[in-house]
Amino acid sequence: MIHHIPNVLSKTQLQYFHQEIASIDWIDGKNTTGSLSAIVKNNQQLPENHPVTQQLGKIILDTVNQNALFISAALPLKILSPYFNRYENGETFGFHVDNAIRWDRETNSRIRTDLSCTLFLSEPEEYEGGELVVEDTYGYHEIKLPAGDLILYPSTSVHEVTPVTTGCRISSFFWLQSMIRDDSDRHTLFNLDQTIQNLRMQLGDSHPEVVKLTSLYHNLIRKWAEL
């Protein structure tokens, strides 16, 4: 399931991000990909060990960990430190699938990539092309979001970034391991959680039906979660 998470970063945060990013030299994006993906990858990335990269990544992690919609959709167990990329002058990343296992440089451990995240840092009108195209059961979805918005999608999906023909597209990307491995189970829990939130606003937290559904939600997590 694909989820759009709006307003992850504020306009003030975005301005700060662009100011800090402007102080760093970009490197070839092929430095952080596997041999097969490198064939179709043509972009630039910030050095992953640069202090600014790590500082901005921490801001993103702090923000998503406080975002109720993100938590509801992802049910994250572990989140990898974010990377940053740039596309311009026809740069692109052809159709590929993300690696199933990645190394977490912060915790010195491996994580399973259940969900992929792209956080847009450039406004759509600042560049032509550069759509994130994600394939799922229902076809191909072209995604180009406002700066500060995030897209969350299964890492099992074949996807690409189309060529940026004019302007410059900057984004952050990262992966996470969910407590709920199965995408359909995560989707069930997301829909149940959103229903509970709506009923809480209509009926109040102590209404018997709200309590019953909340109990069901937590019992399903208890049944499906992998920790």
Show the domains of the chain with their CATH numbers: 3-178 (2.60.120.620), 183-224 (4.10.860)
Long-range contacts for 136-143 (Cβ within 8 Å, ≥24 apart)? 136/2, 141/2, 143/2, 143/4, 143/118
Summarize pLDDT for 81-112 with one digit per residue, the tens: 999 999 999 999 999 999 999 998 778 889 99
* pLDDT for res 35: 65
- At 32, the pLDDT band (50, 70, 90 cuts) reads low
8-12, 100-104, 196-200: range with lowest mean pLDDT: 100-104
* pLDDT for res 67: 98
β-pairing, 139-143 with 132-136? antiparallel
Cα 208 to the chain's mean position, in Å?
A: 35
User: To the nearest whole number, what is the mean pLDDT of the chain?
Assistant: 95
Interval 162-182 mean pLDDT: 98
Query: Which among 129, 122, 153, 152 is positioned nearest to 42, based on CA atoms?
Result: 129
Summarize pLDDT for 132-143 with one digit per residue, the tens: 999 988 899 999
Q: Could you give the CA distance from residue 46 to residue 79 in angstroms, rounded to a whole number?
A: 19
What's the one-letter identity of residue 199? Answer: L
Query: With helix as H, strand as E and coil as C, how does 17-74 read?
Result: HHHHHCCCCCEEHHHHCCHHHHCCEECEECCCCCHHHHHHHHHHHHHHCCCHHHHHHH
What percentage of the chain carries pLDDT values higher than 70? 98
Q: Could you give the CA distance from residue 80 to residue 158 in angstroms, rounded to a whole number?
A: 20
Interval 193-204 mean pLDDT: 97
Q: Could you give the CA distance from residue 150 to residue 6 in angstroms, rounded to a whole number?
A: 6
